[in-house]
Amino acid sequence: MRTTALVALHVFRDSVRDKVLYSIVAFAVVLMGVSYLIGQLTAGEDLKIIKDLGLAAMSLMGLFIAVFIGIGLIAREIDRRSIYAVLAKPVRRHELLLGKYLGLVGTLFVNLSVMALAYYVVLAYIGTTLSPAALKAAPAPPTDPRLMLAVLMIALELSLVTAVALFWSTFSSSALLSAGFTVALYIAGQFGADLKNFEHVVESPAAGIVGRALYYVLPNFAAFDIKTEVVHALPLPAGYLAMTALYAIVYIAALLVASVMIFARRDFK
């Protein structure tokens, strides 16, 4: 446990200093600022657009962090052989793997917090520029606390993406390939609902079964997207949020167990 925590702390220290990370966070903040300008172009809808764009920016930039730095955790470490010295220390392979995962998730959460703070600052500023009538007409106040639910869902989604990235890295020998697989799975996972209904739109029953099987096997990233509900102040059942969180936890746990099992027997040629 102590070893895992030490590894996590080291990963956090190493990755928060990554220049790529700074540029991603800076880009997200700039994007949120720009969304203000875009909002100006569409009268009446600006607050909703800014809220939506801000959450999308957070999600996209978080994905970049999870994939590019997440892949570096294991794949690049094997590529560059920096893992050799660590594994010769009194560190069990699963401790290293879990420490790496927790360290990156920690980095992700810190960055999401920075982005969320910038997001609320932009929204609060916009709130001061709106007329009382416009504020009254908006479905939710500018700094709606419910936006944090969407941020939380993004955090869970990215934790799952990180687990996927880690999983690929445990047996792929190329960092680029791992990144490619992770992004491919992320995109496929956005079509969860379509896969579920695949059997209703195709005539072949076999294709329908394959679609449904894929729906159950692939991580359903679409489930974490509650941007529309939050931005338009639509009802969100607590049960849905709880089930989605549980889904993420179970899926992450399964991926980590599989990763640990593969990693335990891996030869570092």
Q: Which is nearer to other proteins, 51 or 100 (CB)?
A: 100
Output the six-digit token pair for 218.
């692939």
18 interacts with other proteins by CB under 8 A: yes
Output the six-digit token pair for 251.
């899926």
10 interacts with other proteins by CB under 8 A: yes
Q: Which of 60, 91, 130, 214 binds other proteins (CB under 8 A)?
A: 91
87 interacts with other proteins by CB under 8 A: yes
Nearest-approach distance from CB 27 to other proteins, in angstroms: 19
Q: Which stretch binds other proteins (CB under 8 A): 11-19, 155-163, 223-231, 233-241?
A: 11-19
- For the chain, give me the number of helices (H) and strands (E)? 15, 0
Q: Which is nearer to other proteins, 84 or 216 (CB)?
A: 84
Nearest-approach distance from CB 76 to other proteins, in angstroms: 10
Nearest-approach distance from CB 102 to other proteins, in angstroms: 15
Residues 61 to 80 in contact with other proteins, rule: CB under 8 A: 80
Pseudo-torsion of CA 257, 211, 215, 146, nearest 10°? Answer: 150
Q: Which of 82, 113, 204, 228 binds other proteins (CB under 8 A)?
A: 82
Can you tell me the distance from the alpha carbon of 211 to that of 142, in angstroms, rounded to the nearest whole number? 40
88 interacts with other proteins by CB under 8 A: yes
229 interacts with other proteins by CB under 8 A: no
Q: Which is nearer to other proteins, 15 or 59 (CB)?
A: 15
Can you tell me the distance from the alpha carbon of 217 to that of 55, in angstroms, rounded to the nearest whole number? 27
3-state secondary structure of 1: coil
89 interacts with other proteins by CB under 8 A: yes
1 interacts with other proteins by CB under 8 A: no
Output the six-digit token pair for 209.
């079964």
Alpha helices in the chain (DSSP H): 2-16, 19-41, 46-64, 70-71, 77-79, 83-87, 93-129, 132-137, 147-171, 175-189, 192-196, 198-201, 205-217, 227-231, 238-264
13 interacts with other proteins by CB under 8 A: yes
85 interacts with other proteins by CB under 8 A: yes
Q: Which is nearer to other proteins, 79 or 229 (CB)?
A: 79
Output the six-digit token pair for 153.
């869902």
Q: Which stretch binds other proteins (CB under 8 A): 26-34, 82-90, 181-189, 218-226?
A: 82-90
Single-letter residue type at 217: V
Q: Is the dihedral of CA 100, 101, 102, 106 positive or negative?
A: positive
Output the six-digit token pair for 14.
């190493």
Contact 28, 61 (CB under 8 A): yes
The residue whose two tokens read 């892949």 is 71
Output the six-digit token pair for 105.
């998730």
92 interacts with other proteins by CB under 8 A: yes
- Chain contacts with other proteins (rule: CB under 8 A): 3, 6, 10, 13-15, 17-18, 80-82, 84-92, 265, 267-269
